[in-house]
Structures are given as structure tokens and as C-alpha cells.
Structure 1
Amino acid sequence: MTGSRNHERAKKIHIVRRDGKDGEEPNNWGSYFSGAAWKYDDESGQYYLHLFAPEQPDLNWENPKVRHSVYDMMNWWAAKGVDGFRMDVINLISKPDGLPDANKNEDEKYANVEPLVSNGHRIHEFLQEMNKNVMSKHRMVTVGETPGATPENAEKYASLDNKELNMIFQFEHMGLDSNPNPALGKWDDRKTSLKDLRANLTKWQEKLYGKAWNSLYWNNHDQPRVVSRFGNDQTEDYRVKSTKMLATMTHMMQGTPYIYEGEEIGMTNAYFPKLEDYVDLESINAYHQLVDDQHLLDGETMMKYIAIHSRDNARTPMQWDDSEYAGFFDHTPWEKVNPNYKQVNVKNALADKNSIFYYYQKLIELRHTMPVITNGKYALVSGNEDDEQIFAYTRQDDDTTLLVILNYTDETVNRHYNVPADAKLLISNYEDDQNDTIRPYEAKVYQY
């Protein structure tokens, strides 16, 4: 905001500003971090838009000077040798004309703005202009973070004709465990069912095949740890096996896998018990809004939800070894260290030939040496659509078929998949193969 007050006339149009309405905000938009998406600026006498933190005013992309300033900055970095850009919430930059009110429920003070501002009417115009001015001039990779994007949107954003981005981060599979009550957003403690997860991952694999490119991810700085969310971190054996199973699930699909720091050693949620343990603005604001202001949840329930979904779970220091502060630093870090760092750390992972780390290395090696993983067609095994325990799919090209079998549960089950007698067990998270008997969180990939 400081910069926006210099050269007032020129700078005003660099961020989204509006006059208030009847002494209140210009519209009913809510911030992603709770509360209103508008903040009053005493000096200008107007409100400015911040879909996220007040310290992050939304740029006015309708102004060509703003857009080309961004392109100049990108080209400056490209000249420095950067290999690409990850574009934060890039599909929110095109706002609807007139900034109308968004739909909201009666028990919501402010509206969920995402359906109104995501994938706006000028977004493809802006991205194609960016591509022409920046990406087309350099050899680089681009991935756009796109909340609210569908496969149909992705076909345009990440089309194989390369007019906009190389790929996107979509969030459909990240929202499968959100609270059924829209007023509570993502805050809940339920686990995603295999039926929902399989249907969503399958949809993206099938709809983008031959048209656009998928990104494959479980974790990032905004999401809780994959093993705590989709797997099982309650015992050491289950932590290891379920992490490997989930890694196999995505690494055998078509797209580009993203491995978030700590995922490769099976780092878990921290499960901090007190609100003062958290520094994540989203978590803190949500607690005060849902518990103190709106009284939609009691404090104990909300803390349970925060322990599961807070972004701080992904932001605890990297666990290098069992020394103080997990070897991350020799002074108290900004985020508290996960209490399990003495057991879960890089030093221990490197010393164990069967660790999650080495399993990830094997998956990456397979992707680099087997064209069927990159180019083969995905297909769900017939009859697997409603299986509540096993996820089974194939990847196939003219030369090779891969059969991927994954147990999403802590139960031992029996399934028969007509695996050819000469099939090769390519990778597994168990030391032996019991054929039709599929053990808790077992993952195995056959090649034939």
C-alpha cells in the first residue's frame, strides 16, 4: 500500500479500489482469510480489494500498465536464468464487470467469492498476452494455481498447443473432505472416501488425455500432510506403507508429479493442540470468525479441525535429523518443529534402504525410463468404480500395460484381477506378493 500512495493519480488504478456503499464495503465479498475482502484506506477515502490478506491488495489487471509491468518483471527474472514460474491464484485476476455482490447463505456474514471471481471473462486474454510477451520468448515451465478450475477450464489453460500455461494446480481433490456446511468451508475432520477420490482423479486423467497436461500433487504449502490426510499416521508401519501407496497412486498417472518438501520422508501433520501454537493467518482468523463471532462451532471442535487442516502442518521446519530444531536451524525457528522429528527425519530415511525416500527415488526412476507412464492411456479397471477399499487402474501403450493396485484402507482384502502369469512385479511397498490377498495400504504395479 505504501507504493500505491506515491504518485497518487498514477498509482490509484494499479490496485482495485472502490467507494463504499451506504457506509459499508462496496460489496459483500469475503476474504479467503475470513472477514471482508475490502479494507478502508483513510488517505484515499476509498476501499481497496484484498481477496487474501490486507497486506496483499489485488492488482488491477484491467490496466494494461499493470499487466506489462508484471511482464517486464517476469522477463527480468527469465534473463537471470530462472526455469519458470508458479503463478499464485492466477485465475482470480479477471474480476467481473461492476464487481457485483456474490451469492451467500443467510448464516454467512460475507460471501464466498470464488465462484464469482475464478476463471473470469478476460482471463484467457490476459494469459495469452502474457505468453506472447514472456513465455514464448524463453524456455521455461509455467504452472498456474487455479482454485475453482474444472477440466474444461484446464483444457484452455494448459492446452497442448501451449498458448497459455504448461499445466495448472487444480483443487477439486483437495476439497473432497470439506465441511458439507458451506459456512464452515474446509474445516472438518472427515476423511475423503476412496469412491470420491477415485472418481475425481479418474475424471482429470480421462478428460485431459490428448488435450492438456495434468499436474499431480498431494501437498503444498497450503495443504496438510498427505499421509495424515489421505493415509494413516497412527502407527509407524502404516505411516510408511500408506505414504508409499499414495505416492504410487499419483506417480503412475499421466502428468507432472510435484513432491513437496518433507513428503519424500513421510512428514506428518504436527497436530498442535493450542491456538497460540499456530501462526497461519487463515487458521487464526477462521477460529475467531467461526467460534468467537458467529458461534457456529465450539472452541474444542474448531481446534480439532485446525489440527487436521491448518496450513501450518505443511510449514513446520524440514526435519533433517534428531538434533535440536530437527537440524533446521540453531535458533528457535518461526514455526514450531513437529514433535516427531526425532523419528521422522532425513538422517533416518537415508539410513534405511526401505525408507519412503528410496521408494520415491524408484518411482521417479520408473517415470524416467518407461514411456508408458508418460504417454500411455489411463483406464479404470472394469468393476472398480464402487470399490470402497481398492483403487485399480491401468496405463497402456502399444508395447506395455501397467496394472496399478492400491489398498486405500487398513484392512486385508481379496481381489482377483487376472494378472498374466508372466507379469513382472515392477514395484511394491511390501517385500513379497500374496497375489489376490491385498494387505493394508498395499501398493503394487505389474508390467506385462
Structure 2
Amino acid sequence: MNGLHYENGCFGKEPWWKDATFYQVYPASFKDSNGDGWGDIPGLVSKLDYLHQLGVDVVWLSPVFESPQADMGYDVSDYQKIYAPYGTIEDVDELTKACHARNMKLILDLVVNHTSIEHKWFKESRSSKTNPKRDWYIWKPARYDDKGQRIPPTNWRGYFAGSTWTWDEHTQEYYLHLYAPVQPDLNWESEACREAIYQDTMRFWLDRGVDGFRIDTVNKYSKRIDYVDAPIVDPNSPYQPAPEMWCNGPRIHEFIHEMRTKALAPYGAVSVGELSNTPNPDQVLPYVSAAAEELDMVFEFSMIRLGTGGMFGPKYLYVPFTLPQLKKIVSKWQTFIEGTDGWTTVFCENHDNGRAVSRFGDCSTPELWQASAKTIALWQATLTGTLFLYQGQETGMTNMPTSWGIEEYKDVESLNFYAEALVSKDEKRIADTMQGLRILARDHSRIPFQWNDSPNAGFTDAGVKTWMRVHNDFREVNVEKQISDSTSILNFYKEVLKLRKTYKDLFVFGTFRLLEEDDEAIFAYVKESPHRISDLQASTNGYSIQCREKNRRAVVIMNFSRNDRDCLDVRSILGCGDEGIAKLLADRVSYAEAAASGPRQTPEEAAAPQPPEIISSESASTASLVDVDTPSVRTVPSDFGEQEIQTETQAARQELEDAAERARAEAHLAKKKGSGKARKADSFLTQWFANLSDGASKALVASNLAAVVGLSAYLGFKAWGLYERGRLGWKNVGIGAGILTGVGLIEGILGGGKKKQS
């Protein structure tokens, strides 16, 4: 059997981190091992097998360094010590070893734009104007207004509200802080300061075996050194937004290239930069160009900031957005690296934003919540770039209940913005700010992880006061419940992550083309492998296909509304007819109740020739096509080597092969006798689902949002004809996975839709 041959080499030459799945752990909320109400590093170590089984390749650990915790560890007081409630430096060493033992990697959160005021560097800097470390931070004299009142050096507004400057009485100067007053900015203009950062923070941890860093606020190191006022855009405030004064400054690329050369490259360490306030792709590309040798990849936040009122004053005044707005932003950042040597990331959650399923989905019913979470999983897993997940995303954790008051919000940013609203005494602004916090606040992503339905959700011992309140829904939304449910969000994530790896040429490295840009309900796009398949010959059970000089493609179709929608004309999009689709392999275990209800049929569909029964309802079980404990999308590897469909028993495997043989014979007869009528059917997918046996339906149909997954493969069943497009009955057709192969055109389809409410 011949394999795949790519014109431009193989994906094995790409850096390992491009097709890796990263998983962010917020340590305070992940797992408490000692009953003090705070998550810790030993707790994380105890759950590494869970992450490994999920499909995680890299653990990204949010800040664990010594800190007063004014901003949950983003105010570091000692880079070489661990905050005691999290553990010890030896615990980090053990975590590193445990990750490596599982063929996983570990990256740490590096915060070097600023430190805590408790850091020894700042204590020395503020001790006197002549201290050698005085210029390690940014100090400026006061200005005075017309009345002789002391005012800050500039009118800049910080990210946490208020001025970016704080007066130091001892040395009679202001120091700069873009965030809280207890987070003074380091002065990257000082060469001695930069060298201390490289040595005491980066090399120190790389020498201990960590594999790289997520680098906080990486584009803020170089400020404009003239320190002029920002334009007045908010006449009601003395302080004005000024990101242009400190983002992407004149020496930023010099600094980052130096960081890579001196601290990262010698270790082969991976770097992921946080790049805020940079909405122009032309500004982003220099950071991620391989030739520039700066960062491996960055987070750009245009998509995740949808719904916010901006980064400063109105940030938590929620602004509704449309699906076309979302699609436009996704397309912009999916395509900006095409034709370049740059790279991108894929993410929709992190520690600084509300939960994706609450922001982009519909949590009004359990069914819609689950459907939304699965659709988000499919969406994220099929986008180009390196994929990042955030803890709890894989189980569909939601925002805090709207009934919770401001007293349950702990984040300094949330509290500062709410306090600012209170000071205004504007009742509407206060109400709007609280409503915005209920949707957008950083607190939502920081509540304790939900492991099981025991008191405190298994995060810590029963009776322990947790640092943040446990969500009310923990008895229904938790790992233990989902891990044993083959139709759960968690198990769907496992499947799509495997699918992503199996077809990485399409989903990790593939190009992106948006379809139906202005549609208010359908999110659809084409993914195409950048490498041409120059030769493929495959055979299974005597059936052969040959393909030459074609790029593999897939269509992703998702319905973001509650209503039925017309399915797109997939064959027209892919440029192939019925004869171009040859095979289908299904291995998605699904909701029995959804399958039992039976898809709706139009009169035309009912009259169309019936596809052959694949597996009898007596012989099919939920494990006959996939192991329900460790579900997987059992497809063909990227090299199209031999791979056997897993079944419970040899008898079941033989039955599957016999069924496939019958399917081919009956398909040939059906095609010969009734292909004309078949092509008039209203919906080829609904037609196919409608006529599967109960057992086969269980292997394909889930409830609610999303997906029939179709991709190139050579294992499976010969098609009996695919029918004309039409209306999909999303009430009965939900999440499933299948493989479609193109004969001559190796094409595919992924699809989804939301359940119509009755």
C-alpha cells in the first residue's frame, strides 16, 4: 500500500509546539491537596493523568512565585521562591519530572513587565535616588497645575482604573505602574535590569527543567520615553486611555530579540507572548515571524474581547455582538499568517475573561448548554494554529450564577471598576457595570474546578472554606459525572482533540476560508491542507481508490441559532459530485434518546431509495464502534498506514466487516436502480440519518449542537449515494463523527446545528 506524499516535505519537520495542545492551570482553583482551601502544585501533580488522558501535551501553570497576591500572583515579590500555599520549589521540580514522565511539557507564567512593591529590587530602587537600582523602575518628578496642586507626570489611565502613577513620599517622585499601584513597572531601558531578568527569572527556571514560558504583557516593555499626555477621549475623567504610549514601543523588537537570543534560544524554550492592544496584523507579524527570532507565538485578543466596552473606562459595560462580527474577527486572525513565516494561536478562554460557553453559547437549558459547549469544542479544534484550553473549558464550566452579589467577586479589576461606578453615583452606570461583570468578569474563570459532586466539588475537603465560592451547579457539572458518560462534553473534547491530531494537515496547518460571512446563524468555513497529495492508493476489503495531485479539504458547518437552518451545498463548495464522496466511517457514541426519536422526513425523503442497514440493532452496542471509557475518533493516520477499527470482540469486528461487505453490494444495487430518485431527496444527511438502524444511530446521533465530521479516509463503508442539499432537522441530528472520503478529490465535511426549541 502506498502512503501520502507531500510536495513540500512532511509535518515532522515543524516545531513540536505547533500541533501541541496546551492547557492552562490556574493553581489557586485547580486542586487542593492539603485542605487549606487553595489549590496547590501537589494537587496538580495528582491530576496529571487526567490531563494526559484528555489529550494535553503542555501544561501552562499560571503564576506560582512568591507574591502578596494583590493580583493573584501577577505581582511577584521573589521569582526564585514559590508562594507557600501553592507548595515549594521542590514541588515544581516534581511537577516538571511528572510532566516529562508522561511525555508532557511544562511552561511557567513569566511576569517581567512589573514586579510587586515587595520585591527586593523595588525596595532598593525606592530607598534613594542614588541607589544603583533606581533606574530599574520608572521614576518621574511631579507636575503642578495652575493652582499649584501636585499632579502625576502624565494623564495616563491604568488598566485597573485610576492613574498609572503613584507618589512616593520618601523620594518625592512618582513611579509608573500600568496596573495596580502595588505593581511597579520595570524599566527595560536599563541593561542591568534586563540582564537580571534573564538570569534570575528565566535561566533560573530553565536550568531546573521547565520547557518555556507564557510571557505576560510582552509588548509593554518599551514605553515612549518622552512621557507626554494622551489625547482626551473621556472629558469626565482626569485620566485617559493611553496604550499607544506603552504598547509596541520603539525598542520592543530589540528587547524581545535579545530575550530570545540570551535566555530562550540556548535552551530551545518555547515562548508564548500576551499581546494586548494590537489589533493590526501588520503589527503582530513581526513578533511571530520565524526570521525575526522573537516569539514563537502570541495571544491576540480581538475575538476574546468581543462584548467588552474597551480596555479602560467602559470595559465592563457589556456591548452585544453579532455572529458576523465574530466570524469576521476569526477570519482575520486565521488568515493573517498565510504566505508568511509566522504562526498563530487558537483560544477562547483564559484566566482574564468570562467562560466561553456563557459568552458565545446558550446556557438557558441543560440541552443548549451541552450543545453550545460541544460546538465550541468543534470550532476551536478545527482552527489553524496552536490550541490552548483553559481549565474547566473541557467540562463546560459556566459563569458564576447571576444571583451572586458583588461580595462574591474577588478580582482587583472587578472591584476597582465597580467602585468607580459607585463613586459616580449614577444608578444606571452602577447597574450596567454589575450586569457587565456578570458576563465578562475575570472572576468567572477563577472559581474552583469541579471534580465531582461531593461537598466543595472535590476541589478540597468537605467543610473547608474555599478561597472562592464553588459554583452552584457542581453536582451536575463535574469531571466524575462526565467521564463515565460517553456523550458528555468532556468525552467530546477527547474525540475532537484526537481528530485534530490525526488530521493536523487540515486543522492545525490548513488554510482557512470563511463561508456565508453575513449569515446571522451559520458559521461555516473550508479548511484545506497546504500540502498537495501527490499519490494515494488504498484498499480495504477489496475496494480501492486512487487520488493524485489533490489537496485534502474539509468543510466545517455550525448552527449558532436555536432554529433549523438550510444546510450549505457542500458538494458545490468542494467542487465535487456524488461520485466524489466514496466512504463513511462512524465512531461517535451518542445520545440514545435523541436517536430513538427518529429524524423527521419529508415526503420526498420517505420515497427515496433506502440506504443499506449497516449494523443491526441487535448486534450494535455503544462499545462496538468506540470504547466508551476512552473514546476516540479512530481514523486513518496522516500517513494512511494500516489501522484496525477497535471493537469489543473479534466477533463484533467480523460482523462489522460483513456489514461493510453487504453495504457495498447493496449500495451498488441502490445506486443502479434508484440514483435518479435519490438525487431529488431534500436533505442527504437527514435522509441518511433517518434510515440508519437504531444501533448505527446510537453511534452517530447526539443531541443538540453540531456535528457530522467528515474527512478523508479509506476505512469505512462505501457510500450508497449522497443526496441534494436541503433542510437539516437539527432537532434530531446532533453531534456525531464520521469520515467521508473523496474518490479523486479527497474531500470532507464537518457540520453542526442547534436544537430547535419546541
The alignment's TM-score, normalised by the length of structure 2, stands at 0.56
User: Against the structure 1 CA distance between its residues 338 and 42, is the aligned structure 2 distance closer, same or farther, given a 3 Å change threshold?
Assistant: same
Contact 1:404 1:446 in 2 (8 A): no
User: Against the structure 1 CA distance between its residues 378 and 316, is the aligned structure 2 distance closer, same or farther, given a 3 Å change threshold?
Assistant: same
Mapping of residues 385-396 of structure 1, within 5 Å:
385-396=517-528
Correspondence 1:376 to 2:528: no
Contact 2:158 2:312 in 1 (8 A): no
Aligned residue for 2:336, secondary structure, equals helix
**Distance in 1 between residues matched to 2:469 and 2:219, nearest whole Å:** 33
Aligned partner of 2:258 in structure 1 is 129
Q: Indicate which of 321, 325, 330 corresponds to 1:201.
A: 330
Contact 1:264 1:357 in 2 (8 A): yes
User: Against the structure 1 CA distance between its residues 191 and 347, is the aligned structure 2 distance closer, same or farther, given a 3 Å change threshold?
Assistant: farther
User: Against the structure 1 CA distance between its residues 238 and 427, is the aligned structure 2 distance closer, same or farther, given a 3 Å change threshold?
Assistant: farther
User: Against the structure 1 CA distance between its residues 216 and 183, is the aligned structure 2 distance closer, same or farther, given a 3 Å change threshold?
Assistant: closer
Aligned partner of 2:281 in structure 1 is 151
Identity percentage over the alignment? 32
The CA deviation at 1:171 is 0.7
Contact 1:428 1:444 in 2 (8 A): no
Correspondence 1:11 to 2:138: no
Aligned partner of 1:407 in structure 2 is 559
Which amino acid is the alignment partner of residue 275 of structure 1? I
Aligned residue for 2:282, secondary structure, equals helix
Which amino acid is the alignment partner of residue 151 of structure 1? P
**Distance in 2 between residues matched to 1:362 and 1:351, nearest whole Å:** 14
Contact 2:298 2:345 in 1 (8 A): yes
The CA deviation at 1:242 is 0.7
Correspondence 1:168 to 2:432: no
User: Against the structure 1 CA distance between its residues 444 and 99, is the aligned structure 2 distance closer, same or farther, given a 3 Å change threshold?
Assistant: farther
Which amino acid is the alignment partner of residue 287 of structure 2? Y
Correspondence 1:441 to 2:573: no
Which amino acid is the alignment partner of residue 293 of structure 1? S
Aligned residue for 1:391, secondary structure, equals strand
Aligned partner of 1:309 in structure 2 is 440
Structure 1, unmatched stretches of 5+, are none
Aligned partner of 2:391 in structure 1 is 261
Contact 2:286 2:292 in 1 (8 A): no
Q: Quick one: higher RCO (CA 8 Å, sep 6+), 1 or 2?
A: 2
Q: Indicate which of 324, 328, 351 corresponds to 1:221.
A: 351
**Distance in 2 between residues matched to 1:313 and 1:245, nearest whole Å:** 20
Aligned residue for 1:322, secondary structure, equals coil
User: Against the structure 1 CA distance between its residues 425 and 108, is the aligned structure 2 distance closer, same or farther, given a 3 Å change threshold?
Assistant: farther
Aligned partner of 1:361 in structure 2 is 494
Q: Indicate which of 193, 196, 208 corresponds to 1:66.
A: 193
Aligned residue for 2:273, secondary structure, equals strand
- Report the more deviating stretch, 420-429 or 288-297: 420-429
User: Against the structure 1 CA distance between its residues 158 and 429, is the aligned structure 2 distance closer, same or farther, given a 3 Å change threshold?
Assistant: farther
Correspondence 1:282 to 2:413: yes
User: Against the structure 1 CA distance between its residues 427 and 111, is the aligned structure 2 distance closer, same or farther, given a 3 Å change threshold?
Assistant: farther
Aligned partner of 2:720 in structure 1 is none
Aligned partner of 1:188 in structure 2 is 317
**Max radius of gyration: which structure?**
2
**Distance in 2 between residues matched to 1:239 and 1:357, nearest whole Å:** 13
Structure 2, unmatched stretches of 5+, are 1-116, 145-149, 534-551, 572-576, 600-682, 687-702, 712-746, 748-758
The CA deviation at 1:185 is 2.5
The alignment's TM-score, normalised by the length of structure 1, stands at 0.93
Aligned partner of 2:212 in structure 1 is 84
Q: C-alpha deviations, 1:131-151, integer Å up to 9, x for none?
A: 110111012211000101232
The CA deviation at 1:426 is 7.5
- Tell me the C-alpha RMSD between the 2 structures: 2.3
Which amino acid is the alignment partner of residue 52 of structure 1? Y
- Report the more deviating stretch, 17-26 or 301-310: 301-310
- Report the more deviating stretch, 78-87 or 102-111: 102-111
User: Against the structure 1 CA distance between its residues 230 and 428, is the aligned structure 2 distance closer, same or farther, given a 3 Å change threshold?
Assistant: farther
Q: Indicate which of 360, 364, 367 corresponds to 1:237.
A: 367
**Distance in 1 between residues matched to 2:275 and 2:254, nearest whole Å:** 16
The CA deviation at 1:277 is 1.2
Would you say how many aligned residue pairs link Structure 1 and Structure 2?
445
**Distance in 2 between residues matched to 1:318 and 1:260, nearest whole Å:** 11
Which amino acid is the alignment partner of residue 60 of structure 1? N
The CA deviation at 1:440 is 5.9
